[in-house]
């Protein structure tokens, strides 16, 4: 997606993408799918959501009619107390909706070529990994900056998840340097598929605020083979069929589970 700070436009963009992917079992959207902050101001997040907004009915209806699951990579999710969380929302095939995972590692960095970022000024840290199950597939959830922390994925690998979700909004400098390497490493060490829907291209609003993200939504198999890479900037969709036999094949060749040591 190429989300902005216009919620209505983002919802329309998401629904357009979902319509193109309506035959899929699971549709994955990126981090900040329904609101992407474009200004450089720090501090309290200007927009937060709960599950009472009217637009959720469109996602529920789509999921029920199409019989598909929707994983909305993240939204700024309003909490009763304190800061919001950067939260993955799961709309299941029956139209039930719930927060599924809160981003654990928050992006507080000073990267050359990009403005300083202090995500912890806007969000509270998530507290724990989360595994969900869809159609018999065990899915480990994470968001963007989490991908740099191998211990999170070791936790998932020890529990034999089949798919790792990494919805993201990567900066261009860090994306060029690290995106492909990190996602392939997470797939190889976890012996799981990695699905990473990403924000992509130039994001701008009528007030002249601009932001750019790296894009390259990826799907990687458990051997580290890139099955899909949307390498053109801007909104686009790709459908990929994941074969469970690939998991068994890779794990049989290199039985990492039986070799794992605790220390």
Domain containing residue 44: CATH number = 3.60.110.10
Q: Kindly report, residue by residue over 99-143, the tens digit of the pLDDT.
A: 999 999 999 999 998 888 999 999 999 999 999 999 999 999 999
Percentage of the chain modeled with pLDDT above 70: 99
Residue 223 placed within a domain: yes
State yes or no: is 31 an active-site residue: yes
The candidate with the shortest Cα–Cα distance to 68, out of 93, 91, 95, 100, is: 93
CA dihedral of 168, 247, 132, 106, whole degrees rounded to 10: -30
Residue 103 placed within a domain: yes
Residue 21 placed within a domain: yes
State yes or no: is 144 an active-site residue: yes
Distance between CA atoms of residues 246 and 133, nearest Å? 18
Residue 231 placed within a domain: yes
Count of domains in the chain?
1
- Of the candidates 53, 78, 103, 160, the residue annotated as catalytic is 103
Residue 261 placed within a domain: no
Q: Kindly report, residue by residue over 197-217, the tens digit of the pLDDT.
A: 999 989 988 788 889 999 999
CB 95 within 8 A of CB 61: yes
Res. 53: pLDDT tops 90: yes
Residue 262 placed within a domain: no
Q: CB under 8 Å to 238, separation ≥6 — which residues?
A: 217, 219, 228, 230
Residue 187 placed within a domain: yes
Question: What's the mean pLDDT in 18-26?
Answer: 97
- Of the candidates 16, 24, 31, 80, the residue annotated as catalytic is 31
Q: What pLDDT sits at residue 167?
A: 98
Q: Taking the mean position of all CA atoms in its chain, how far away is CA 164?
A: 9
Residue 260 placed within a domain: no
State yes or no: is 257 an active-site residue: no
213 vs 39, residue with greater confidence: 213
Domain that includes residue 68, residue range = 7-254
């Amino acid at each position: 997606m190429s989300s902005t700070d216009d919620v209505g436009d983002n919802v329309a963009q998401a629904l357009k993408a979902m319509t193109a992917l309506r035959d899929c079992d699971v549709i994955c959207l990126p981090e900040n799918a329904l609101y992407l902050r474009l200004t450089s101001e720090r501090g309290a997040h200007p927009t937060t959501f709960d599950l009472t907004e009217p637009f959720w009915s469109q996602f529920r209806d789509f999921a029920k009619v199409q019989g598909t699951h929707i994983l909305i990579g993240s939204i700024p999710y309003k909490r009763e107390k304190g800061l919001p969380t950067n939260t993955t929302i799961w709309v299941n095939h029956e139209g039930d909706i719930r927060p599924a995972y809160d981003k654990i590692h928050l992006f507080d960095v000073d990267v050359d070529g990009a403005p300083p970022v202090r995500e912890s000024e806007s969000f509270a840290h998530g507290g724990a990994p989360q595994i969900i199950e869809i159609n018999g597939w065990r899915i480990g959830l994470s968001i963007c900056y989490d991908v740099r922390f191998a211990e999170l994925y070791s936790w998932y690998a020890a529990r034999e998840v089949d798919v790792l979700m990494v919805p993201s909004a990567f900066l261009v400098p860090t994306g060029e340097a690290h995106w492909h390497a990190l996602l392939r490493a997470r797939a190889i060490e976890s012996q799981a598929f990695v699905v990473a829907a990403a924000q992509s291209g130039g994001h701008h609003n009528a007030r002249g605020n601009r932001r750019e993200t790296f894009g390259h939504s990826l799907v990687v198999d458990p051997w580290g083979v890139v099955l899909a890479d949307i390498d053109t900037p801007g909104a686009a969709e790709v459908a990929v069929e994941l074969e469970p036999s690939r998991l068994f094949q890779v794990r049989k060749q290199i039985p990492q589970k039986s070799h794992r040591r605790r220390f």
